Chains A and B, each alone.
Chain A
Amino acid sequence: MSTAQLRDTITTRRPSKGALVAGILAVWLVAWLVLRGTHTLPLGAAQLTGLHEWLNDVNDSIGANRNSNPLFLYFFNIIRLIVDEFTTFIQTVLSEPAFDSPIPMLGWLGVVAVAGYVCYLVANIRVALLAMAGLVFLGLQGLWTESMDTLALTISAVLIALLFAIPLGVWAGLSDRFNRLITPVLDFMQTMPTFVYLAPLTLFFLIGPASATIATLIYAAPPVIRLTAHGIRSVPRDMVEASESLGSTRRQTLTKVLLPAAKRTIVLGINQTMMAALAMVTIAALIDAPGLGKTVIKALQTQDVGTAFNGGLAIVVLAIILDRVTTAASAKARPSHTAPSRGAAMLRLPMLIGGGVLAAIGVWLSRTYVWAAEFPADVEIGSTIVRATDTATEWVKDNFAALTTDLKDVVSATLIDPLQALLVQSPWWLVAAVIIAISVVIGSIRAAVVSAVCLALLVGTGLWQDAMTTLAQVLLATVIVMVLGIVLGVWMGRSPRVDRVVRPVLDAGQTMPPFVYLVPFLALFEATRFTAIIAAVVYASPVAIKIVTDGIRGVSATTVEAATASGSSTWQTITKVQLPMSRRALTLATNQGLIYVLSMVVVGGLVGAGALGYQVVAGFSQGQLYGKGLAAGIAIVLLGVMLDRMTQAAAKRADRPS
């Protein structure tokens, strides 16, 4: 039977898909009762396998030979030099003293003026005002220089990323073969924990701006590559054919048809890349990257939640500015964007000139007078934010600790423990068989093959048991993320007002450095797996909620009206019309939710999750555990690829009309 036939047979039996999965799980449970505790592949905390030791040796030999190896002398050193120069240049514009002057090239007023003007050019006046207000707020927080350091690093990482990401994305959009080749590389870049390559990176590119920029762009570049490719692919075939039939060359088709049509998606990719770059701020601070990350980390060394929150809030403000500006720019780039009215068009030229003059005056002032160069220290709200946060944290700790401990105990005993026991105590081959079978049932044969390969490699890392412990937590966190995603997503999708209120909170959840809220969580829930799951939920649910919201909103208004008119209650409209019709968004939300949860495994390891996350952190901190940490990082990537392919195959199936 060919794959296609097999797929067809399974599809025809489609109504029993749920029953099949239930059957597989039932068999698993029975087998677990009989076989538990055998073939579980355990490995002690201090134990290493041959692979781990070999990875240690590789790392050591790189370090020992870096001064004599031609690859270092010519290749890496040159990259480092260029990136260093570029990042340092942007820093001298925004944050670091430039040349002989005690201030950067632009003082705070200059930055605000230029930012406002640029935002007006690429987006609109409303966003420009928002950006200017946001920047002034950073100054009021008492974090101007730190914020500009972070902004400089983000800008230079994103610009360098775009330099190669857009060509790569275009290539991946045009060539199926290249797309297949680069997809796993991008998966790797996004799911491999940064901790794993942070230390080696300083061997290649030394401690300094280059390493910080490169660490940031490794994590941040994939979204724009993916979305550029996606944008190019989504251009309607007939547009391309029309262009070709008119005798355009390939280059002309690309620059005149494909790129303009894909512009909006590409800008969306830039937006995602910026957000990802900001998420790296605190991690880059571990290798001496200047900016807000340092503020947060230093404050947390002394459990100073207030100061850490102030720093985290500045990161959130930066993120919101960058997000709103690029979103508005992307809307403007939309081909259907309405041409400005005649009145607005007449105003445009004076506005452009006027704005330019204002920006120039701002720059001149900021280079001339101290008050416009250095943000005045006597007007500030930072200390108020710090105090208010401290008070609130103490209050929550004092009043909720008993309640939260009970909650944590109940969830641990009824959900985490049983699932973990099932995964960890089953023989490895049983778990593998179950996962492969489920891949076939909900996904495809192809997904099952990917699962089989990933599982085999997972056994090879020597960290099977840790991987299963982590998998249990990842699955639970994803379920919670999806419950939140559906409830809030439906609510936000149905009510724009709710959307407006909740969205900034979601943005904060995505960009606030996790430790800022984890320190109080540690007081409430202690260093436990539960805390780790909560951390993952906070970070991952915003993206799921946003996708579900988008899906609900995508259901055509006439369909919903028809349902209401035919007498459906609100509940019926939601469950019978809106949710089923946004099935594709729901599977996509599950997929993204999973990937985001996985990216929090390492943070979980810092607050009591143990398992793979802890191994990665320990590997970063102790030389002899480096190889084991790297293996744990690879195990996380493998889990990610496996779950991603499985849910994507399921999503594809959901797309096919039954």
Chain B
Amino acid sequence: MRRTRIASTRLALGAGIALLATLTLSACGGAKVGEDSGSSGGGECGEFNIAINPWVGYEANAAVIAEVAEQELGCNVNKKDLKEEVAWQGFGTGEVDAIVENWGHEDLKQKYIKEQKTAVEAGSTGVKGEIGWFVPKWMTEKYPGITNWKNLNKYANLFKTSESGGKGQLLDGDPSFVTNDEALVKNLNLNYKVVYAGSENALNEAFTKADEQRTPVLGYFYTPQWLQTQVDLVRVKLPQYKPGCDADPEKIACDYPTYDLDKIVSKQFADENGPAFKLVKNFQWTNEDQNQVATMIAKDKMSPEQAAKKWVQDNKDKVNSWIGKD
């Protein structure tokens, strides 16, 4: 036992020396550290801290803005992966300059724009956001009228699961978004139970499975979202949204509004009015543009940087209009 231990120790030492010797020899003539580091120019833009909220559509917006800021304006872009709440907090502490896709969040606007005065709005991104109830497309062909809420009770049996206690299941639950679904189910007298999936991953898997294996699913979802470029979903029509119909959360009986997805920046960043701020303010594109970049990231597995680079090359006109170049 002892002998073998000594032997193995000796062996390891010998092997180590041999290995390093070969490495050293073969290294002669190898490239040296620091030889080819090109200097990256600072430019007048300086530091630009952009929050990255955790969904692909947001990442598409941020990647394109970062690409333009770096390449055209010479900014030093810091991308910070943060949940929405934390990102809004970051305005006050000076660690976040911009959020580039905001879904409503009236409560946060109230708190940080009106009360704490650390953030200001920076206009629309041009992307329209929809929240609502969705079913997979194949169900609309098989079950006529399923996209009208009035027929949902008729089909409640289809959506029964182990979680829904004998009623139909309405799958909710990316916890980041406001949901009125419990009130809706009650006020529209639907024979459904809201089940909280709890994450976007869970919703994605549910709809993917519903599409691939033809299992019925009725769920809360939103668009633009990368999955919708791969899985066909159809929105269920609820009673039409009218301004003010969602004023009392207990009595809501109407659909969700269409959101004009906008940009929020820190007050200080806006006041300094530098080139990065002007870029964020002027940035505007469409749902189709965002979907192009999102698909490259989600489906073609490109990195956000590569995807943004490609889109920017193909869309010089739009980019130039943001930075005031002809």
Q: Which of A298, A368, A530, A607 makes the CB contact (< 8 A) with B197?
A: A607
Complex contact B12–A344 (CB within 8 A): no
Complex contact A207–B82 (CB within 8 A): yes
Task: Tell me whether B42 is interfacial, beta carbon within 8 Å.
Answer: no
Shortest CB-to-CB span from A156 to chain B, Å, is 19
**B56-101 with Cβ < 8 A to chain A:** 56, 59, 80-86, 89-90, 92-93, 95-96
Provide 26 A-B residue pairs closer than 8 Å at the C-beta atoms, listed in order of the A residue: A45-B182, A63-B116, A64-B115, A125-B8, A199-B86, A287-B82, A297-B81, A302-B56, A307-B301, A343-B6, A347-B9, A365-B24, A369-B32, A370-B35, A371-B31, A408-B162, A523-B208, A527-B163, A607-B198, A614-B173, A621-B175, A621-B176, A622-B85, A622-B176, A622-B178, A623-B108
Task: Tell me whether B137 is interfacial, beta carbon within 8 Å.
Answer: no
Q: How far is the CA of A368 from the CA of B23 in the complex (A)?
A: 13
Complex contact B298–A302 (CB within 8 A): yes
Q: List, in ascending order, chain A residues with CB within 8 A of B182's CB.
A: 44-46
Complex contact B199–A607 (CB within 8 A): yes
4 closest residue pairs by CB, A with B: A527-B197, A412-B162, A522-B205, A527-B202
Task: Tell me whether A223 is interfacial, beta carbon within 8 Å.
Answer: no
Complex contact A522–B33 (CB within 8 A): no
Task: Tell me whether A528 is interfacial, beta carbon within 8 Å.
Answer: yes
- Of B13-21, B234-242, B278-286, B311-319, the segment with at least 4 beta carbons within 8 Å of chain A is B13-21
Q: List, in ascending order, chain A residues with CB within 8 A of B85's CB.
A: 199, 620-623
Q: How far is the CA of A287 from the CA of B194 in the complex (A)?
A: 30
Complex contact A288–B80 (CB within 8 A): yes
Q: Which of B2, B24, B199, B206 makes the CB contact (< 8 A) with A617?
A: B199
| Residues of chain B whose beta carbon lies under 8 Å from any beta carbon of chain A | 2-3, 5-6, 8-10, 12-13, 16-17, 20, 23-24, 27, 30-35, 37, 54-56, 59, 80-86, 89-90, 92-93, 95-96, 107-108, 111, 115-116, 161-163, 171, 173, 175-176, 178-179, 182-183, 194-206, 208-209, 213, 226, 249, 297-298, 301
Q: List, in ascending order, chain A residues with CB within 8 A of B171's CB.
A: 527
Complex contact B83–A620 (CB within 8 A): yes
Complex contact A206–B198 (CB within 8 A): no
Q: Interface readout for A258-290 with B: 1 if CB under 8 Å, 0 if not?
A: 000000000000000000000000000111100
Q: List, in ascending order, chain A residues with CB within 8 A of B56's CB.
A: 301-302
| A346 to B, closest residue via Cβ | B6
Shortest CB-to-CB span from B225 to chain A, Å, is 11
Shortest CB-to-CB span from B314 to chain A, Å, is 22
Complex contact B108–A526 (CB within 8 A): no
Task: Tell me whether A518 is interfacial, beta carbon within 8 Å.
Answer: yes
Shortest CB-to-CB span from B299 to chain A, Å, is 8
Q: Contacts A199-B86, A614-B175, A622-B175; is A370 near B198 (CB within 8 Å)?
A: no
- Of A1-9, A101-109, A645-653, the segment with at least 4 beta carbons within 8 Å of chain B is A101-109
Shortest CB-to-CB span from B35 to chain A, Å, is 8
* Residue with the greatest number of chain A CB neighbours at <10 A, chosen from B5, B175, B178, B204: B175
Complex contact A617–B33 (CB within 8 A): no
Task: Tell me whether A203 is interfacial, beta carbon within 8 Å.
Answer: yes
Task: Tell me whether A438 is interfacial, beta carbon within 8 Å.
Answer: no
Complex contact A606–B198 (CB within 8 A): yes
| B28 to A, closest residue via Cβ | A369
Complex contact A286–B81 (CB within 8 A): yes
Q: How far is the CA of A89 from the CA of B16 in the complex (A)?
A: 29
Complex contact A617–B175 (CB within 8 A): yes
| B197 to A, closest residue via Cβ | A527
Q: Contacts A522-B201, A620-B85; is A527 near B206 (CB within 8 Å)?
A: yes
Q: List, in ascending order, chain A residues with CB within 8 A of B20's CB.
A: 358, 361-362
Q: List, in ascending order, chain B residues with CB within 8 A of A101's CB.
A: 33-34
Task: Tell me whether A240 is interfacial, beta carbon within 8 Å.
Answer: no
**A414-432 with Cβ < 8 A to chain B:** 417
| B183 to A, closest residue via Cβ | A46
**A345-382 with Cβ < 8 A to chain B:** 347, 350-351, 354-355, 358, 361-362, 365, 367-373
Task: Tell me whether A300 is interfacial, beta carbon within 8 Å.
Answer: yes
Q: Contacts A60-B111, A202-B89, A286-B82; is A129 near B54 (CB within 8 Å)?
A: no
Shortest CB-to-CB span from A519 to chain B, Å, is 6
Q: Contacts A207-B86, A354-B17, A528-B163; is A401 near B209 (CB within 8 Å)?
A: yes
Shortest CB-to-CB span from A81 to chain B, Å, is 14
Task: Tell me whether A605 is interfacial, beta carbon within 8 Å.
Answer: yes
Complex contact B27–A526 (CB within 8 A): no
Shortest CB-to-CB span from A361 to chain B, Å, is 6
Complex contact B30–A369 (CB within 8 A): yes
| B209 to A, closest residue via Cβ | A523
**A435-452 with Cβ < 8 A to chain B:** none
Complex contact B175–A203 (CB within 8 A): no
Q: Contacts A101-B34, A125-B8, A620-B83; is A369 near B27 (CB within 8 Å)?
A: yes
**A602-622 with Cβ < 8 A to chain B:** 605-610, 613-614, 617-618, 620-622
Q: Interface readout for A528-560 with B: 1 if CB under 8 Å, 0 if not?
A: 111000000000000000000000000000000
* Residue with the greatest number of chain A CB neighbours at <10 A, chosen from B23, B198, B206: B198
| A205 to B, closest residue via Cβ | B93
Task: Tell me whether A230 is interfacial, beta carbon within 8 Å.
Answer: no
Complex contact B92–A63 (CB within 8 A): yes
Q: How far is the CA of A201 from the CA of B237 in the complex (A)?
A: 42
Q: List, in ascending order, chain A residues with CB within 8 A of B6's CB.
A: 341, 343-344, 347
Task: Tell me whether A303 is interfacial, beta carbon within 8 Å.
Answer: yes
Q: List, in ascending order, chain A residues with CB within 8 A of B3's CB.
A: 343
Q: Contacts A46-B183, A199-B89, A526-B206; is A613 near B198 (CB within 8 Å)?
A: yes
Complex contact B27–A202 (CB within 8 A): no
* Residue with the greatest number of chain A CB neighbours at <10 A, chosen from B173, B176, B178: B173
Q: Contacts A285-B81, A344-B6; is A372 near B23 (CB within 8 Å)?
A: yes
Q: Which of B17, B27, B30, B206 makes the CB contact (< 8 A) with A358?
A: B17
Q: List, in ascending order, chain A residues with CB within 8 A of B209's CB.
A: 401, 523, 526
Task: Tell me whether A11 is interfacial, beta carbon within 8 Å.
Answer: no
